[in-house]
């Protein structure tokens, strides 16, 4: 994936994925969405591909504002095992109720490969929450202590484990707050 890549995809008026641009496969891969790489993704509801209910709800609200003529823009992390990646997401109305998602890579920073983010590692049945927006992980066991993957690996002594926990998407308090602000802004200038 090049550092300057732009990935576009669209949903139709019924929220079904109607178009995916070049680079979609890499994007889906990096987004922890191997199931999204298959071509039969076309025609499927976008909401089937978002596992965290809070994240799904926020995207649904954004899409409804965008259909009223707003442009949504925010940044999110989309890390791979060997890099931290910051994306800018733009969501805009196209025509006939279609909505376009455009993600542009803002920056990529290499790091030591993190096994926790690798698909190839064997997993236990334990679950570890990863924020779908900033990619930090909740090591607080319910008390909301979200840290970078390097810190999580250390804090949870994952080097010592034969099988790593499975990652499950969630949303941290900081991201919930900042996306709530983003949505409030979309709401405020609505005419």
Note the residues at the interface with Zn ion (CB under 5 A): 131, 133-134, 172, 175
Q: Which residues pair with 116 in a beta bridge?
A: none
Q: How far is the CB of 51 from Zn ion (least distance, A)?
A: 15
Beta strand 146-147 with 99-110 is unpaired
DSSP symbols for 117-151:
G-TTS-EEEEEEEEETTT--EE-STTS--EE-HHH
- In the complex with Zn ion, the residue whose CB is nearer, 20 or 172, is 172
Q: How far is the CB of 118 from Zn ion (least distance, A)?
A: 21
Q: How far is the CB of 170 from Zn ion (least distance, A)?
A: 9
- In the complex with Zn ion, the residue whose CB is nearer, 54 or 115, is 54
Q: How far is the CB of 76 from Zn ion (least distance, A)?
A: 9
CA distance 10 to 19: 5
- In the complex with Zn ion, the residue whose CB is nearer, 10 or 77, is 77
Q: What are phi and psi of 140, to 5 degrees?
A: -85, 0
- In the complex with Zn ion, the residue whose CB is nearer, 44 or 75, is 75
DSSP symbols for 80-116:
BTTEEEEEEEEEEE-STT-EEEEEEEEEEEE-S--GG
Q: How far is the CB of 146 from Zn ion (least distance, A)?
A: 6
- In the complex with Zn ion, the residue whose CB is nearer, 72 or 76, is 76
- Yes or no: say if 46 and 57 are a contact pair by the CB < 8 Å rule: no
């Amino acid at each position: 994936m090049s550092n300057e890549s732009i990935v576009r995809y669209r949903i139709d008026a019924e929220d079904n994925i109607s178009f995916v641009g070049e680079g979609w496969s890499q994007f889906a891969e990096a987004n922890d969405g191997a199931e999204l790489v298959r071509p039969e993704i076309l025609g499927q509801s976008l909401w089937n591909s978002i596992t965290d209910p809070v994240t799904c709800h926020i995207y649904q609200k954004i899409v409804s504002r965008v259909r009223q003529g707003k442009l949504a823009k925010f940044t999110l992390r989309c890390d791979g095992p060997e890099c931290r990646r910051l994306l800018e997401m733009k969501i805009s109305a196209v025509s006939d109720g279609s909505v376009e998602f455009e993600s542009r890579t803002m920056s990529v920073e290499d790091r030591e490969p993190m096994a926790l983010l690798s698909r190839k590692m064997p997993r236990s049945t334990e679950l570890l929450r990863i924020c779908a927006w900033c990619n930090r992980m909740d090591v607080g066991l319910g008390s909301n202590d979200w840290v970078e993957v390097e810190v999580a690996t250390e804090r949870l002594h994952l080097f010592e484990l034969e099988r790593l926990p499975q990652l499950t998407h969630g949303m941290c308090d900081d991201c919930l707050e900042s996306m709530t602000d983003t949505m409030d802004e979309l709401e405020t200038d609505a005419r």
